[in-house]
Amino acid sequence: MNIAFFLTPKSEVIFENLEATMRQVLERMEYHGYSAIPIIDNKGRYVGTLTEGDLLWKLKNTPELNFKNTEKVKLEEIPRKIKHKAVTINSDIESLISLAVSQNFVPVIDDNGIFIGIIKRSDIINYCYNGMCEAKK
Protein backbone atom coordinates (compact mmCIF):
# COMPACT_ATOMS: atom_id res chain seq x y z
CA MET A 1 0.00 0.00 0.00
CA ASN A 2 1.20 3.49 -0.87
CA ILE A 3 1.33 5.78 2.17
CA ALA A 4 0.03 8.67 0.04
CA PHE A 5 -3.40 7.09 0.60
CA PHE A 6 -3.30 8.44 4.18
CA LEU A 7 -1.79 11.86 3.41
CA THR A 8 -3.41 15.03 4.68
CA PRO A 9 -1.85 17.59 2.30
CA LYS A 10 0.03 20.64 3.55
CA SER A 11 -2.81 22.89 2.36
CA GLU A 12 -5.06 21.26 4.99
CA VAL A 13 -2.49 21.14 7.81
CA ILE A 14 -1.87 23.72 10.51
CA PHE A 15 1.88 24.25 10.75
CA GLU A 16 4.16 27.08 11.77
CA ASN A 17 7.31 28.68 10.42
CA LEU A 18 10.53 28.50 12.42
CA GLU A 19 10.60 32.33 12.45
CA ALA A 20 7.25 32.54 14.28
CA THR A 21 7.08 33.51 17.94
CA MET A 22 6.20 31.38 20.91
CA ARG A 23 3.07 33.44 21.42
CA GLN A 24 1.91 32.87 17.84
CA VAL A 25 2.25 29.11 18.15
CA LEU A 26 0.62 29.07 21.60
CA GLU A 27 -2.39 30.91 20.25
CA ARG A 28 -2.56 28.80 17.09
CA MET A 29 -2.38 25.54 19.06
CA GLU A 30 -5.03 26.76 21.50
CA TYR A 31 -7.37 27.90 18.72
CA HIS A 32 -7.14 24.56 16.89
CA GLY A 33 -6.95 22.42 20.04
CA TYR A 34 -3.65 20.81 19.04
CA SER A 35 -1.02 19.45 21.38
CA ALA A 36 1.70 19.45 18.70
CA ILE A 37 2.39 21.28 15.45
CA PRO A 38 4.87 20.73 12.60
CA ILE A 39 7.52 23.40 12.13
CA ILE A 40 9.00 24.31 8.75
CA ASP A 41 11.80 26.66 7.72
CA ASN A 42 11.66 29.51 5.19
CA LYS A 43 12.40 27.08 2.35
CA GLY A 44 9.46 24.86 3.28
CA ARG A 45 11.56 22.06 4.77
CA TYR A 46 10.31 20.15 7.79
CA VAL A 47 12.55 20.95 10.78
CA GLY A 48 10.63 19.33 13.64
CA THR A 49 7.50 19.17 15.69
CA LEU A 50 6.82 21.49 18.60
CA THR A 51 4.71 20.12 21.45
CA GLU A 52 2.87 21.60 24.39
CA GLY A 53 5.51 20.00 26.58
CA ASP A 54 8.29 21.86 24.76
CA LEU A 55 6.45 25.13 25.39
CA LEU A 56 5.85 24.32 29.05
CA TRP A 57 9.51 23.37 29.62
CA LYS A 58 10.60 26.63 28.00
CA LEU A 59 8.33 28.57 30.39
CA LYS A 60 9.55 26.60 33.40
CA ASN A 61 13.24 26.93 32.53
CA THR A 62 13.13 30.65 31.68
CA PRO A 63 12.22 32.47 34.92
CA GLU A 64 11.73 35.89 33.31
CA LEU A 65 9.39 34.48 30.67
CA ASN A 66 5.64 35.01 31.00
CA PHE A 67 2.77 34.91 28.53
CA LYS A 68 3.07 38.60 27.69
CA ASN A 69 6.69 38.39 26.59
CA THR A 70 6.43 35.09 24.68
CA GLU A 71 6.11 37.27 21.58
CA LYS A 72 9.86 37.91 21.90
CA VAL A 73 10.80 34.22 21.77
CA LYS A 74 11.33 32.71 18.30
CA LEU A 75 10.47 29.05 17.81
CA GLU A 76 14.06 28.30 16.90
CA GLU A 77 14.97 29.25 20.51
CA ILE A 78 12.71 26.58 22.00
CA PRO A 79 14.41 23.23 22.58
CA ARG A 80 12.40 20.23 21.43
CA LYS A 81 12.56 17.32 23.84
CA ILE A 82 11.70 14.66 21.26
CA LYS A 83 12.89 14.52 17.66
CA HIS A 84 9.78 13.59 15.71
CA LYS A 85 10.86 11.88 12.53
CA ALA A 86 9.32 12.32 9.11
CA VAL A 87 8.84 9.84 6.28
CA THR A 88 9.26 10.45 2.59
CA ILE A 89 6.26 10.05 0.35
CA ASN A 90 7.94 6.91 -1.06
CA SER A 91 8.33 5.21 2.33
CA ASP A 92 6.76 1.85 3.00
CA ILE A 93 3.82 1.29 5.32
CA GLU A 94 6.03 -0.45 7.91
CA SER A 95 8.19 2.67 8.30
CA LEU A 96 5.06 4.79 8.68
CA ILE A 97 3.48 2.55 11.32
CA SER A 98 6.70 2.27 13.34
CA LEU A 99 6.70 6.08 13.72
CA ALA A 100 2.93 6.41 14.21
CA VAL A 101 3.17 4.20 17.31
CA SER A 102 4.83 7.05 19.22
CA GLN A 103 3.69 10.14 17.27
CA ASN A 104 0.13 11.52 16.92
CA PHE A 105 1.02 12.38 13.35
CA VAL A 106 3.90 11.60 11.04
CA PRO A 107 5.20 14.46 8.89
CA VAL A 108 5.68 13.61 5.22
CA ILE A 109 8.42 15.15 3.10
CA ASP A 110 9.48 14.90 -0.51
CA ASP A 111 12.95 13.81 -1.64
CA ASN A 112 14.29 17.34 -0.98
CA GLY A 113 13.01 17.48 2.61
CA ILE A 114 10.12 19.78 1.67
CA PHE A 115 7.10 19.36 3.95
CA ILE A 116 4.12 18.09 1.94
CA GLY A 117 1.70 17.07 4.70
CA ILE A 118 1.06 14.70 7.57
CA ILE A 119 -0.37 11.29 8.19
CA LYS A 120 -2.49 11.14 11.32
CA ARG A 121 -2.29 8.09 13.56
CA SER A 122 -6.08 8.19 13.89
CA ASP A 123 -6.46 7.77 10.11
CA ILE A 124 -4.27 4.66 10.17
CA ILE A 125 -6.20 3.19 13.11
CA ASN A 126 -9.57 3.94 11.49
CA TYR A 127 -8.44 2.29 8.26
CA CYS A 128 -7.30 -0.83 10.13
CA TYR A 129 -10.49 -0.91 12.22
CA ASN A 130 -12.71 -0.62 9.16
CA GLY A 131 -10.72 -3.38 7.47
CA MET A 132 -11.21 -5.65 10.48
CA CYS A 133 -14.95 -4.93 10.49
CA GLU A 134 -15.20 -5.75 6.77
CA ALA A 135 -13.26 -9.00 7.29
CA LYS A 136 -15.75 -10.12 9.95
CA LYS A 137 -18.71 -9.81 7.55
| pLDDT tier, 34 (very low <50, low <70, confident <90, very high otherwise) | very high
The whole-angstrom separation of Cα 69 and Cα 84 is 27
**DSSP structure string for the chain:** --GGGG-EEGGG---EETTSBHHHHHHHHHHHT-SEEEEE-TTSBEEEEEEHHHHHHHHHH-TT--GGGGGG-BGGGS--SS----EETT--HHHHHHHHTT-SEEEEE-TT-BEEEEEEHHHHHHHHHHHHHHHH-
| Higher-pLDDT residue of 134, 36 | 36
HSE of 6, CA atoms in CB hemisphere, 13 A: 28
d(CA 60, CA 67): 12
> Residue 26 — pLDDT band, cuts 50, 70, 90?
very high
Tens digits of residue pLDDT in 72-120? 999 999 999 989 999 999 998 888 888 998 888 999 999 999 999 999 9
The reported pLDDT for the residue numbered 126 is: 82
Fold of 3-136: CBS-domain (3.10.580)
The pTM (predicted TM-score) of the whole model is: 0.86
* 95 and 116 Cβ atoms separated by less than 8 Å: no
